[in-house]
Amino acid sequence: MALREIVRMGHPVLRAPAEPVPASAMRSPAFARLVDDMIETMREADGVGLAAPQVGIGWRLFVYEAAGTGSDAIPLRVAVNPVLEPEPGDPVEDWEGCLSIPDLRGLVPRHPAVRLRALDRHGEPYERRVEGFEARIAQHENDHLDGVLFLDRMTSLRSLAFLEEWHRFLVGAAGGRAERPE
Ligand code: NI
């Protein structure tokens, strides 16, 4: 495994819609390496999610995982060619960051629960209902596949803060658990 460079806002790949991963590519060793590298890169960066465009690859693929205690923990998940379907419910605001937009945090409204349909890293389809923090991560990562960044989803930029000031003045202001970037 190897760490990949995480591209930052301003790189065009973050603004381009990603292409579906072809079935033929999914069987290749290069694809397995990409998935492994993304997982390692996410963990090394202390992130809770990473989408392929963030490592310069325009494919519809993301990984996520959040350490935690007990029910807080979100196990490692790989989503290839995902489709998200929001469940009914009022949007919930919470803090987000992004590995491609370092050291900024902002309040972002998201659907409280979504249905995630995707392929796993071996091409096997799965479907899960995810809610809360996991639903937030899935929506954030899925946005990356459409060239959308969390800043685009903020209804107001007034909460936007540098990480240091966020820790000092704002943490906990919205109950925020999403301390770690996605
Ligand atoms: Ni992100």
163-173: pLDDT as tens digits? 999 999 888 65
Please check whether residue 3 lies inside any domain of the structure. Answer: no
The pLDDT of residue 48 is 96
- CATH number for the domain spanning 49: value is 3.90.45.10
Catalytic member of 141, 164, 165, 182: 141
The stretch 55-70 carries a mean pLDDT of 93
Give pLDDT, residue 160: 97
Percent of the chain with pLDDT over 70: 95
Instruction: Establish whether 44 is a catalytic residue.
Output: no
Number of domains in the chain: 1
The mean pLDDT value of the chain amounts to 94
Residue 70 confidence (pLDDT): 74
178 inside domain: no
Report how far ligand 1's centroid is from the alpha carbon of 171 (Å). 19
Would the pLDDT of 182 be above 60? yes
Domain hosting residue 162, numbered range: 12-173
Tell me the torsion sign for CA atoms 15, 17, 22, 27.
positive
Say what the pLDDT of residue 179 is.
Answer: 57
**Is there a domain that residue 105 lies in?**
yes
Residues 55-80 have a mean pLDDT of 92
In a domain, 82, yes or no: yes
Residue 1 lies in a domain: no
Contacts of 26 (CB under 8 A, 6+ apart): 80, 119, 121, 122, 123
How many Å lie between the centroid of ligand 1 and the Cα of residue 74?
17
Does 7 map to a domain? no
**pLDDT score of 178 more than 90:** no
Per-residue confidence (pLDDT) for residue 176, from 0 to 100? 52
pLDDT of residue 181: 72
What's the chain's length in residues?
182
Q: Is residue 158 part of a domain?
A: yes
Query: What's the CA angle centered on 3, arms 68 and 62, to 5 degrees?
Result: 60
The pTM score is 0.94
